[in-house]
Structure 1
Amino acid sequence: MRPQHLVRASVSVTALALAVFAPAAVAPPAGALTSAQVGGPVVVAAPTAGLLADAVPADEGGAATVNLLGITDFGGHLERVSTQSEGVQVVAEPGAVTLACEVAAARASQPNTLLVSTGDNVGGSAYISSVLDDQPTIDILGAIGLDVTAAGNHEFDGGARDLSSRLLGAIDAPVLAANVIGNDALSAEGDGDGVWTTEVDGVTVGFVGVVTDSLPTLVAETALAGMEVTDLVETANARAAALKDGDESNGEADVVVVLAHEDADVYSNQFNGSVDAVFGGHTHHPHASAVTGRDGNRIAVVQSGQYGELLGNITLSVDRDSGAVSVLAVKNIDLTASTCTADAYGVQAIVDQAARDSRVAGSRVLTALDRSFYRGTNDGSDPGANRSTESTAANVIADSYRAWLTTEVEPDGDHYIGLMNPGGVRADYLLGDLTEGEAYTVQPFGNEMGYATYSGAQLKAVLAQQWQPDTSRPLLMLGVSGNVRVYIDQDAADELEEYWSRISAGEQAAADLEEAVDAARARVIRSVYVDDVELADDASVVVASNSFMLSGGDGFTGLREATVSGTGVLDRTVTAEYLQAGGAVSADLAKRQIGVDLDAAVGGTATVRFTGLSFTAASEQTAPGAAQEVTATVALADGGTQQLTSAAIDTTVTPELPETGTTTLSIALPADVATTACPAGGRQGEGVSAAGACAVVSFTLVARDGSTRSVDFQALVPVAAAAAQAEARVPAVSNQVVVAPEDEPTVAGTGIPDSLGSAGATALALLAAAGVACYRVVRRGLLGRLGAVPSDA
């Protein structure tokens, strides 16, 4: 038994004393909040001081009450952080003191309360904690009395040895990971094999902890040496069933709670009838509802976001006679709105000491930034939550990697580029002085800098691995250095995103879609330009990145295909020196990865869709250098050019996707357009024939300040059939030629009157072409798909 459970009685006394001597902090406010409606949408309650003192009372009928509080992805965010928003001071992170105060208030009101976590308590942490090896966070969770936690992926950052020899002994709660086998110390936690049981109000509550199936892609390969990750859902269901199978030899529980370091909204309905409640995590998305499980059972589900901003609450009632479990409350409490700040469990002193110790090392100013560099957002208020979109923060780090490669290493190769994984960027770079501590906060992992050489084909394959239909997020959009431009086949991207939706909803298994995913990935990277030239498959490209990425982390297994040269230099040191040297005093607001889809038809018209032209941060969308519109231009036969059309860019954010910044241009070719032979083979648009004539349409991005940038992609649009026939057949000396049916194969046998001649044939051909085009449009609509693959320039 861990020491914290021996002192549970003293913790309860502390909580009661807090309620007596600090009534302002724990007394329930007027107008207590209601819990989330069972089965309803996410409900985030906004407490006043000590709202959790108003906990759900025990049933009067003698049923047992189990009150559960949950956190996830706390990541060492110990301090209370406030920001100015339109002149009003807003709490962005409530901090550990408020968390402790609210937990104490709940325990004082409802003794049958347990505090749980779904992992990422440490690792990838805020600077105040990470620079001190997360010991302040471990001390605080121990002081508050964390009862049990699942292991998150960041608990494995330091590898098996650090987990076994340091973390498991330091964290004063069972650390559960039932689906990770091969580590004896981890398997021995709790009651063993990822399970822990405890008694609450006379009933036994069993906890099953599991970590995301994506764990092998989220840590360096060496970190999991000797360990294997099994299927999260299957493992949790097996452990839960064993806890309710009536066999005392394998442990029994009246209530089973799954602590899953994985998105609860995606997976919770796949748990079986033995599961009563689920706490989720990993993706930082808040969620609270009751869902129907695999066997028709009702499951209370909560996911409390990140950084202690929310405190999840599930209250269950257990009928002592029948054993039936019912849900009394499912909600998230918004701790950013809490005024509960009385010091409980001595947490304030731990935070203060950590602040003193960490800030001494981090106060040195590296440089001054004249603008901010932001991570991806879903709604403008959750920076870093959208890892599926390109961000200026990841791009500037990729720029620093390339600069280091170019100036410090200079290996052999045709091109040098930098790549940065979005999950490795843990904070934004903000306008003004950038201190060493702030730079550390952005890159807290301390990975080693490295580089390796790949062919152009291998790099394209790596970029295609940004789409990850079988993981928690549809894709992870890399930061790429400024000398790289990637053109995405948006039609293939749409397909991959649809596969992710099916797999994450449990509609189809990943294995069943493996061939389809591979085929779409083979198409999704349309072209790549490096150093202003299109990247050839046999080109030599030297990639600089951190050791985590180069070892295949985050699912980029293609990076393992080359021998990596390590350097012993920390990645954050490289970026800090780049920033200190003034390498990023301003940011390039031109997107480096954009999507294109073209649907061309015979008749001289085309529709071109662009996606991903805008960053997601509002201030970056409205900055002078941000793209505002796209224009289409074509060359004329007389050597001039003509602007065909322009379209404004819609900057509405597309959550969890890279497609923010969309526009569609409808193109109609003029009669005097210059033409070239349509290319044979390759990726051609609808209606493109090697025997026909095509016009080359070019595109330009126009920024808000009037500056322009050419798009490397060019659309090949087949010219109108009538115009092509006229150019080929009509003599310059005549305005009309009458052709007899027997001399005109197109007309012969059609029943068209002779008097109509070639005009009738042309009309018939155009009607037929229109029919084919309509068929294609209808068919695509039924399939839910957009456009055809754009043609090569």
Structure 2
Amino acid sequence: MSAAPRRTRRRTYGLLSAAAGLATAAALTSALPADAHESHHHRPGRYQDVQLLSFNDLHGNLEPPSGSSGRVTELQPDGTTKTIDAGGVEYLATHLRQARKGHPYSITAAGGDMVGASPLLSGLFHDEPTVEALNELDLDVTSVGNHEFDEGARELGRLQNGGCHPTDGCYTDKRFQGADFPYLAANVLNDKTRKPILDPYWVWKKNGVKIGFIGVTLEGTPGIVSADGVKGLTFKDEAETINKYAKVLQRQGVQSIVALIHEGGFPASGSYNYDCDSPGAGAGLSGPIVDIAKNVTPAVDALVTGHTHTAYVCTVPDPSGRPRMVTSAASFGRLYTDTTLTYDRRTGDIVRTAVKSANRVVTRDVPKAPDMTDLIGRWNTLAAPIGNRAIGYISADINNTGTESPMGDLIADAQLAYGRELDPRTSLALMNPGGVRAGLTYAAKGAEGDGVVTYAEGFTVQPFANTVNLQDFTGAQLVQALKEQVSGPNAAAPKILQPSANLTYTLDLTKSGADRVVTDSIRLNGAPLDPAATYRVATNSFLAGGGDGFPTLGQGTGDLVGKDDLTALEKYLTANSSATNPIAPPKADRITVVQ
């Protein structure tokens, strides 16, 4: 667990990057001794500012994400908002390299889900391109996220240590080298050894400054990834694990500690620059990370979080009641967080009252990093023969937003159609919202705007390679499954299944728990469900295994396994659209929402 040697590449990039840089975090306002921010050429002073740059949930988005996935909302001084196009590693690299200029003490860390659910450019090659990009970005350390387990612990180990893929082999004439940075998995234990599958912590050191990093993912990971991905693993409580390893670090003389937690919260505003600690801001931040933060030992000085794809820079009191910084930089490389940690050389600890942090937009008005352009070009050359193939046509953007999204509805319709090819008795289809990773953009990447849907774009929407499964359920079981959207594990953060066009019902959000699904309103082909009747239902394999908090969907009978879900979407688009008759976005009117 000792400190990794400092890579010289970062300093080289710092010298080569453009001279213009973005402003870093605001000057510290806390009263510190006069030498707290002085630059000492011969003898370091007592206080040393350490820059911590962080991001989370990149999900292999090397190219600028399209549509709403590639925009952030900015709060204006007059209270209005505007949207800004953001993201793309060519721009992220430039922004990070500019931000590091003038900061000899700089660390770059991430909060998990760097890979998984990735667009074709990365996903087609089992995310090797993203790991290569992160190496070039000079990422120092990251926690694992739930998506790091999409292909299982063995594949995660390969991403860390290198080697060719066990079935696909090597994609180029060079052996994949793996990550230059450590993945941390403190709370993920091997069932046989009862030890973490990867390092639980890592220590950054420079000129006597020592900062420890502990990495964990959400304890509930087994409920949101496939069973094969977490087979033989146990996921422990986040706060308890962090507290355990904070003590280990302190025994080693490391008093400054940052937790990288792949679990997050929900800010009161969707604007990345919202001040959730401002007077009158109310709760500011809600969700699982709040309780975790309140239970993580005061020995930890800051929390870098993720998973919810939201942006926030908030303080949450630690168990002693002292405010502590908790940050998240949205997702897809659209933001990074710039945090100043003031290190006290006398105590070896962070001056907590001096910690300042702000989210920065990865704007696309800066020069592209040439090395990232080259990397994207090399992998695109390999992916192009597959990715550029047209699979359908759309008449307008099909968005992935809202309680019921047009994109989710389209996928459910596609799976119903495919299910009926496999078995004409198929009654309906249900799609989990977390499996819909993006929408379809009419003018993809600012191109011709002709509404062509390519295989690469379809892959971005559905990258998991889940199969389409058919199962039999009673009407009573279907009602129970719909109630599980808003009860049990999903009570606090509902997961609304996207229904095929022939299923309608009312969701009353003024009520609580399972009562939010109005049972009497449920209609299939215009008729009430018969509790005793049997219905053939199409879902993906993840839902068919009871994933995402839907245990009833794991109790179906008469299983029939079809091809992958992207094949179903491609078949549907091919059969129902053409250049002269493109498919229109579904109206997303199958669920009536009462608020």
Q: Is the 8 A contact 1:38 1:330 kept in 2?
A: no
The partner residue of 1:574 within 564, 568, 575 is 568
Q: Which residue of 2 aligns with 1:404?
A: 418
Question: Is residue 9 of structure 2 the alignment partner of residue 11 of structure 1?
Answer: yes
Following superposition, the deviation at residue 132 of structure 1 comes to: 2.2
Per-residue CA deviation, residues 680-723 of structure 1 (Å, 9 max, x unaligned), is xxxxxxxxxxxxxxxxxxxxxxxxxxxxxxxxxxxxxxxxxxxx
Using a 3 Å threshold, how does the CA distance of structure 1 residues 168 and 300 change in structure 2: closer, same or farther? farther
Determine helix, strand or coil for the equivalent of 1:355: helix
For 1:238-387, list aligned pairs within 5 A. 238-244=244-250, 247=251, 251-263=252-264, 265=285, 266=287, 267=289, 268-326=293-351, 327-336=354-363, 339-343=366-370, 346-377=371-402
Percentage identity across paired residues of the two chains = 30
Measure, in 2, the Cα distance between the counterparts of 1:252 and 1:564: 59
Q: Is the 8 A contact 1:91 1:337 kept in 2?
A: no
Question: Is residue 224 of structure 2 the alignment partner of residue 218 of structure 1?
Answer: yes
Following superposition, the deviation at residue 188 of structure 1 comes to: 5.5
Per-residue CA deviation, residues 147-187 of structure 1 (Å, 9 max, x unaligned), is 11111111100123322345554222211122221268995
Following superposition, the deviation at residue 93 of structure 1 comes to: 3.5
The partner residue of 1:430 within 441, 449, 454 is 441
The partner residue of 2:499 within 465, 475, 480 is 480
Q: Which residue of 1 aligns with 2:60?
A: 76
For 1:752-771, list aligned pairs within 5 A. none
The partner residue of 2:187 within 162, 176, 179 is 179
Per-residue CA deviation, residues 95-142 of structure 1 (Å, 9 max, x unaligned), is 112222222233342121111111111110122211222111111111
Following superposition, the deviation at residue 471 of structure 1 comes to: 6.1
Per-residue CA deviation, residues 644-672 of structure 1 (Å, 9 max, x unaligned), is xxxxxxxxxxxxxxx5xxxxxxxxxxxxx
Which letter maps to 1:404? Y
The partner residue of 1:392 within 387, 395, 406 is 406
Question: Is residue 562 of structure 2 the alignment partner of residue 548 of structure 1?
Answer: no
Determine helix, strand or coil for the equivalent of 1:64: strand
Determine helix, strand or coil for the equivalent of 1:273: coil
Determine helix, strand or coil for the equivalent of 1:26: coil
Q: Is the 8 A contact 2:185 2:196 kept in 1?
A: no
For 1:431-470, list aligned pairs within 5 A. 431=442, 432-467=451-486, 470=489
Per-residue CA deviation, residues 588-633 of structure 1 (Å, 9 max, x unaligned), is 42521224xxxxxxxxxxxxxxx1xxxxxxxxxxxxxxxxxxxxxx
Measure, in 2, the Cα distance between the counterparts of 1:525 and 1:57: 67
Measure, in 2, the Cα distance between the counterparts of 1:554 and 1:183: 23
Question: Is residue 430 of structure 2 the alignment partner of residue 419 of structure 1?
Answer: yes
> Which TM-score applies when normalising by structure 2?
0.80
Q: Which residue of 2 aligns with 1:719?
A: none
Following superposition, the deviation at residue 274 of structure 1 comes to: 1.2
Measure, in 1, the Cα distance between the counterparts of 2:12 and 2:491: 40
Using a 3 Å threshold, how does the CA distance of structure 1 residues 292 and 187 change in structure 2: closer, same or farther? same
Which letter maps to 2:368? T
Measure, in 2, the Cα distance between the counterparts of 1:484 and 1:406: 16
Q: Which residue of 2 aligns with 1:591?
A: 589
Q: Which residue of 2 aligns with 1:230?
A: 236
Measure, in 2, the Cα distance between the counterparts of 1:472 and 1:590: 23
Which letter maps to 1:254? Q
For 1:618-767, list aligned pairs within 5 A. 659=595
Q: Is the 8 A contact 2:24 2:99 kept in 1?
A: no
Measure, in 2, the Cα distance between the counterparts of 1:57 and 1:333: 25
Measure, in 2, the Cα distance between the counterparts of 1:318 and 1:74: 29
- Point out the structure with max Rg over C-alpha: 1
Q: Which residue of 2 aligns with 1:693?
A: none
Which letter maps to 1:331? A
Following superposition, the deviation at residue 429 of structure 1 comes to: 2.1
Q: Which runs of 5+ in 2 are unaligned?
A: 31-36, 72-81, 163-177, 266-284, 443-450
Using a 3 Å threshold, how does the CA distance of structure 1 residues 438 and 337 change in structure 2: closer, same or farther? closer
Q: Is the 8 A contact 1:81 1:91 kept in 2?
A: no
For 1:477-626, list aligned pairs within 5 A. 477-491=496-510, 494-496=511-513, 520=514, 525-563=519-557, 565-582=559-576, 585-589=583-587, 591-595=589-593, 611=594
For 1:90-101, list aligned pairs within 5 A. 92-101=85-94
Q: Is the 8 A contact 2:543 2:554 kept in 1?
A: no
Measure, in 2, the Cα distance between the counterparts of 1:438 and 1:316: 40
Following superposition, the deviation at residue 240 of structure 1 comes to: 2.2
Per-residue CA deviation, residues 188-238 of structure 1 (Å, 9 max, x unaligned), is 666x4x222221441321111111122112111222111112222222233
Following superposition, the deviation at residue 334 of structure 1 comes to: 0.7
Q: Point out which structure has higher relative CO (alpha carbons under 8 A, 6+ apart).
A: 2
Which letter maps to 1:352? G
Using a 3 Å threshold, how does the CA distance of structure 1 residues 118 and 186 change in structure 2: closer, same or farther? farther
Using a 3 Å threshold, how does the CA distance of structure 1 residues 173 and 544 change in structure 2: closer, same or farther? same
Measure, in 1, the Cα distance between the counterparts of 2:21 and 2:228: 50
Q: Is the 8 A contact 2:485 2:495 kept in 1?
A: yes
Using a 3 Å threshold, how does the CA distance of structure 1 residues 570 and 271 change in structure 2: closer, same or farther? same
Following superposition, the deviation at residue 145 of structure 1 comes to: 1.9
Measure, in 1, the Cα distance between the counterparts of 2:259 and 2:238: 10
Measure, in 1, the Cα distance between the counterparts of 2:7 and 2:583: 56
Q: Is the 8 A contact 2:4 2:203 kept in 1?
A: no
Measure, in 1, the Cα distance between the counterparts of 2:38 and 2:227: 48
Q: Which runs of 5+ in 1 are unaligned?
A: 40-55, 378-388, 497-519, 596-610, 612-658, 660-793
Using a 3 Å threshold, how does the CA distance of structure 1 residues 575 and 313 change in structure 2: closer, same or farther? same
Determine helix, strand or coil for the equivalent of 1:308: coil
